[in-house]
Amino acid sequence: MKDHITIVGNVGGDPEFRRLPDGTPVVSLRVASTDRRYDAKTGAWVDGHTSWYRVSVFRTLGEHVAASVRRGQRVVVHGVLAIKRWEAGEKTGTDAEIDALAVGHDLAFGTTVFTGAARSRDETPAVDTEAEWAAPGAGAESVDEPQWQAEPVATPF
C-alpha cells in the first residue's frame, strides 16, 4: 500500500538537479510545512510546528521543477510518502520523503506564468485521450440530475 500525501510549504533551498546512472533526471529539494492557527485572544496568526520533507522529482517533472521552482517559494507537492530511518555514527533519526507526482506554485501567495512543454511526436501522453472513457458521456448511461426543491440559503458572509 502506498501512502499519498499533499503538502503546502516553502522550498528550503534551490532544487538540486542530477542524473541517475541510467540517465534519468532527478531533482531533490526540501520543503518546510508549518501549521498555523488564528489566536482569537491576541488577534494574530501563530506558527505551530514545522515539518520538513525531502522531495524527489523524477524525469520530465523534475526538469520542469528545476526550471521553475526556487528557494523560498511557496509550493504544493503531491506524492507518495515514505518514512526512512537513518544512522550517522551514533546519531539516528527518521526522514519523511516524498516521491512527487505533482508540484506547483501555491497561487494564494503569488502568480505564475505557465508555459506548456513541447512533446516529441513519439512521446505518448500521460492520459489516453483516445480512450472511450475519456470522451464525455461515452459508454455511460444518461442520468438525470436531481431537481432540488429548496431555495438556496443566504451566504453567511
Domains identified in the chain and CATH numbers? 3-134 (2.40.50.140)
Plot region of 156 (φ>0 → left; ψ -120 to 50 → alpha; else → beta)? alpha
pLDDT at 19: 97
- pTM comes to 0.72
Q: What are phi and psi of 65, to 5 degrees?
A: -65, -45
Q: Are 58 and 26 in contact (CB under 8 A)?
A: yes
Which residue is associated with the grid cell 501522453? 125
Q: Which three cell numbers stand for residue 91?
A: 546519531
pLDDT at 76: 98
pLDDT at 92: 95
What pLDDT, in 10s, does the model give residues 63-114?
A: 999 999 999 999 999 999 999 999 999 999 999 999 999 999 999 999 988 8
Band of residue 124 on the pLDDT scale cut at 50, 70, 90: low
Band of residue 125 on the pLDDT scale cut at 50, 70, 90: low
What pLDDT, in 10s, does the model give residues 144-156?
A: 555 555 555 555 5
DSSP string, 36-51: EEEETTTTEEEEEEEE
Q: Which three cell numbers stand for residue 35?
A: 501549521
What pLDDT, in 10s, does the model give residues 8-62?
A: 999 999 999 999 999 999 999 999 999 999 999 999 999 999 999 999 999 999 9
The residue among 3, 6, 1, 18 whose CA lies nearest residue 106 is 6
How far is the C-alpha of 10 from the C-alpha of 71, rounded, in Å?
A: 8
Band of residue 118 on the pLDDT scale cut at 50, 70, 90: confident
